[in-house]
Structure formats: structure tokens, C-alpha cells
Amino acid sequence: MEPLTELQEALLDSLQRVVDREIAPIAQEMDETETFPTHLVKVFGEMGLMQARVPEEYGGPGLDLTTTCMAKELVARTSATGAQLINQNTISFVLPLLHFGTEEQRQKWLPLVAEGGVVSSVAITEPHAGSDVGAMKTRAVLDGDDYIVNGQKCFITMAPIADYITLFAKTSDSGKRGVDNISCFIVDMKSPGITIGGHEKMMGQRGTPHADIYFDNVRVPVANRMGEEGKGFLSCMHILDLNRPTVAATAVGLAQGAFDIAVAYAKDRKAFGRSIGDFQGVQFMLADMHIQIEAARALLYQCTRAIDAGRHDRLTEMASMVKCFCTDMAMKVTTDAVQILGGHGYVRGNHVERMMRDAKVLQIYEGTNQIQRLQIARRALGFR
Ligand SMILES: Cc1cc2nc3c(=O)[nH]c(=O)nc-3n(C[C@H](O)[C@H](O)[C@H](O)COP(=O)(O)OP(=O)(O)OC[C@H]3O[C@@H](n4cnc5c(N)ncnc54)[C@H](O)[C@@H]3O)c2cc1C
């Protein structure tokens, strides 16, 4: 690993103090009560972490992807729900604006996000269109200076508390499926015609709110469309590639958190008159967990540094590899941590049990790991 920069060292130091003070005492409670402490938006907004990637010229901290992932990893060691907030506005606001918004749109929205209090979500998935994004049915029909949106999105992270969403909707039926007919919009969640469904109860990351969003003749100004009409799908794929390492960062953090607990337990827990850490069977498990975490972390930061340096030639392939490798690793390591804690690891209310549930969704959202493997294999086979 390259040494930390002064900025990274200072940021991670103060972030650790915030995690110890604000997150660690409520990490279990957020999971058990399935409630999200909204004051954390203020906490992370004041640290510049909700808006980490907003460039300095728009009033943001302008953190690079590597530093953002380090911050996410650090928080995820204690709580995946807490880590969700780090960089929350990047995929749903900052990257779409930076990569295919107009300068006028950037000037309008980025300074607002840079203030730190804004929460945004990205709304792509529908009940019958997840991996198959091109199958989405939500429609945006042009009517004068507005589009009129009708449809439904599901599983939307932070929807119940979002101020804005980045919405993907069909704007025509012609052209190549998905590639030519999906557009992308910034939508104010206070717009008439939007309703939020009930809290969706998840297996893990229970403190994070998720919900359906319904659109009933919602008027969205043409000025809120980002990029060319019909080109939202390709843009969406590109920004998902750029953001995927942040999912991997949560995975590495969760695995490290579970590993640390497993090591402490292995030293402390006695069986047959010895610490269980004295048994080679347990030692080998711990060694494998450690190897996997270190390998995942190395791949993660190799990828983020390439992206930060503007080396995007293998972006899709690398982002998919990092997402798959780190999230599969987190599932395995958190499961092994539960194993090392034995029956105590299986009891609800135990940190490793929560971490194992939290890890599972990382293999599913932002493109399932099967879809990532398709991308990797297609490139290896020279299909595109
Ligand atoms: C907690 C949580 C938070 C989420 N947050 C958001 C959010 O904020 N915004 C948003 O838009 N979405 C969000 N999602 C949705 C998420 O991105 C989708 O669930 C995911 O993309 C998979 O879509 P799906 O559930 O429809 O599964 P499907 O696409 O129906 O897939 C079902 C299974 O089939 C496999 N499969 C599908 N196609 C192929 C193929 N071609 N080859 C091989 N296997 C395939 C999949 O890998 C999966 O195992 C969230 C989901 C969860 C659970």
C-alpha cells in the first residue's frame, strides 16, 4: 500500500473519532430498530463526506475516489449503514452532473450539494427491471417545457429522506433497446404526484431506509434532463462503473471489522483449557481471512488510483473485478467470523451477525455479481 497523504491521514484520524463518538454507540440499535438517525446527515455533511466528490470550484471538498473509498472503508468497519452516507450524493447527483450535465446545471446544483445537507438517491430499478435496465417501464413524455413522468421505482436507498433523485425513465420506444431510449433527470422529491411506499424491510443494512417511489403525472422541467434525450442508459453505465469501487470499499471495511472481532474473540475464548486461537484449525481460518482482506484492499486501491489518474482504458473490467472480488470476499470473511464466534456469533445483536447480513446485499446491488462476471468474461473473450 502506498503511504497515506497528509490530507488522508488527517481526515481518517478525525473520522475515526466521529465514528467512535457518533456511530459505534448506535450501530446495533440502528439495525435492531430499523431506524436511520437523520442527524448523521449533518455530521457527515459538516465533514464534507456526504458531498465528498464535489469539486472545489463548486464549493465542495473535491476528494478523489481513493480518499473517498478510504473514508467509506473506515466507517464500514463499524457500520455499513453509517458508511452508506459517505459519498451518498456521488452516484445520484455529482457524477451525472460532472460527466453529462451542462455547466448551467452544475452551477445550479453542485453548490447546493456542496453545502452538505442534501440527500439524494438514484432511481433505476423497477419491480420487473433490475439487471435488465432496458426493460424499465417508467415513462417521461415531453409536454412543452416539461416531461410528464409516470411509473414506479423500487428498492431505492434513502428514498424516504431524499430531497432529490436522479431518475432514469424511458423517453421513447424507438432505437436500440435501452441504448437509445432511456433518459436521465434530476427530480425534486417535493414535486406534486410523487409518493413514497412503505419502508422496505431488508435482511441487512436495516438502518438504511429503502422504499418504492411512485410517479403519477409528475412534471419535470426539460432543464432537469441530464445529457441528450435517450442517452441516459449509457451514461448510467459509465457512472456506475466509476462508483463501483465505493461498494467494494464498504465490503473491505465490513470484512476488516468482522475480522478484528474474530481475532479478539479467538484470543479470549477458551475451549479444552486453551484459547481457541491456539488451535491450528482456527488459526488457518484467521490467516485465510486476513489474506483475502489484504488482497481485496490491494485490488481496490489499485483500481481507485487508476481511476483518479484518469486511466479509464479498462474501467468497466476493473470496476467489475473489484466489485466482485471484494464483495464475495466480504461475504466469506463475515461468514467465517460468525463461525469463529460459534453459537455466540449466531445470536442476534452480535456485531458479526449484523455484518454478515450487511455484506450480502453488496453482492446484489449496483449490478449483481453475475452481471459483473458477464462484463469481465465478455472482455476476456473479446466480445466487446
Ligand atoms: C438493499 C438494496 C438497495 C438497493 N438500492 C437501490 C437504489 O438505490 N437504486 C436502484 O435503482 N436500485 C437499488 N437496488 C436494486 C438493485 O440494484 C437490484 O436489486 C439489482 O440490480 C438486481 O436486480 P433484481 O433485484 O431485479 O434482480 P434480477 O435482475 O431479477 O436478477 C435475479 C437473479 O438473476 C441473475 N441474472 C439476471 N440476469 C442475468 C444474466 N444475464 N446472467 C446471469 N445472471 C443473471 C441476477 O444476478 C440475480 O441473481 C437495491 C437493492 C437492494 C436489495
| Stated pTM of the model | 0.97
Which residue, by CA, sits nearest to atom 7 of ligand 1? 156
Common-topology check for domains 120-230 and 234-380: no
> 241 alpha carbon to ligand 1 midpoint, in Å?
16
Domain boundaries, the chain: 6-114, 120-230, 234-380
Question: Structurally, what CATH architecture does the domain formed by 234-380 represent?
Answer: Up-down Bundle (1.20)
In 3-state terms the chain splits into helix, strand, coil percentages (rounded to 5) of 55, 15, 30
Residue nearest to atom 43 of ligand 1 (CA): 370
The CATH class, in words, for 6-114 is mainly alpha
Q: Considering only the top CATH level, what class is 120-230? A: mainly beta
Q: How far is the CA of 132 from the centre of ligand 1 (A)?
A: 8
Residues forming the active site: 366
Q: Whose CA is nearest to atom 37 of ligand 1?
A: 131
pLDDT truncated to tens, each residue of the chain (384 aa)?
789 999 999 999 999 999 999 999 999 999 999 999 899 999 999 999 999 999 999 999 999 999 999 999 999 999 999 999 998 999 888 999 999 999 999 999 999 999 999 999 999 999 999 999 999 999 999 999 999 999 999 999 999 999 999 999 999 988 777 678 999 999 999 999 999 997 789 999 999 999 999 999 999 999 999 999 999 888 888 889 999 999 999 999 999 999 999 999 999 999 999 999 999 999 999 999 999 999 999 999 999 999 999 999 999 999 999 999 999 999 999 999 999 999 999 999 899 999 999 999 999 999 999 999 999 999 999 986
The residue whose CB lies within 8 Å of the most ligand 1 atoms, and thus the one to mutate among 247, 364, 376, 383, is 364
Find out whether 306 and 69 touch, Cβ atoms under 8 Å.
no
In short, whether 247's Cβ falls inside 6 Å of ligand 1 is no
For ligand 1, pick from 125, 133, 323, 369 the residue to mutate: most ligand atoms within 8 Å of CB: 125
Q: Judge contact between 124 and 133, C-beta under 8 A.
A: yes
End-to-end CA distance of the chain: 32
